[in-house]
Chain A
Amino acid sequence: MGFFAWLMELVDAFLITPYRWPQDPVLGWWLGTFILALWSTILGEITLAIAFRANRFHVTKTTNEMAEYHDRSMNALKAGNKGAYKAINKLANEAFGKTFFLQIAMASASLWPVACALGWMQARFSNIRFPLPFTLPVLGETAGYAFIFIPLYILTRIVFGKFKRMIISKFVDR
């Protein structure tokens, strides 16, 4: 067995375990999916923290450059120099492009676990439809794995964020 297949098997065994903890399969589904959402959130938060820590200097530099050109372009406009405004605005635009795409690339740090979790669920549950307590247009009376996972992930992320802020304000800010 190759290293990749071995790793996948290990991850699969790790992720499926909470689904089997309760006897009731429906309860197991909710518990397992919630824990998966929690892992996705934690892993995303850790990688995002690493990304910002590692790129702090570069992000600050490009953001400052962008802000500086912006301020100068506004001053040119206030002074009534439209030509200078347009030229400096173009430089500001260029600096913005760099910051924008750098931050976009860094943002993927927090979301890669979500796509991986969905990939794992696709392999595990793509043939299973989960009954809904109500009927929805397009979906009908059942939904797929992602319909449950995505809202649960968003909820977990919000709660996790609040919890994190609470911890920081209680212990770090003191």
Chain B
Amino acid sequence: MTTAPGDGGRSGDAPSVSRTDVAVMLVILAIAAALWLETATFERVATLLAQNIPPEFFPRLTLAAIVVFALVLPFEPLILGLGDGAKRRAAPLPAMTWKTAALLVAVAASTVAVGTLVAMILACLLLPALWGERRMMRLITFALLFTGAVTLVFAGLLRVPLEPGLLAAWLGIH
């Protein structure tokens, strides 16, 4: 819901260095360090071939910029006088978000085995069920009709190729 305009979200919490921001900075620095090390594994090429711009040059330049910005990050509320919103960011995620993410990964993983069509039906059945939908007839009707319509439009009319999956191959369906 929208609240009336005021400070544009620039106040609220008093500006301070938050632990959450320091943790975010450390995570970014760790990832940047790992990627910097990865650039050291890039194949070496002759200077003439690289034309003075070796392949690791630009990624390292970008990583250096990320490191500089990350070091400023925790102090940004102090520099800009912003309410840091760290409390909101530090709040734990609801279990539902974790479950949803896990379900999405599971559905995507199942595509290899069952193919896109069955994976779509699974998504249309399991995600609403996870989110609290208990009207089974409505759920099944939605899953079948929506998936059928999508398949008809995309695979039938637009000729979008769909992954058949190992199951279809095993059953000899093409």
A and B part of one assembly: no
Q: Which residues of A contact B (CB under 8 A)?
A: none
Q: Which residues of B contact A (CB under 8 A)?
A: none
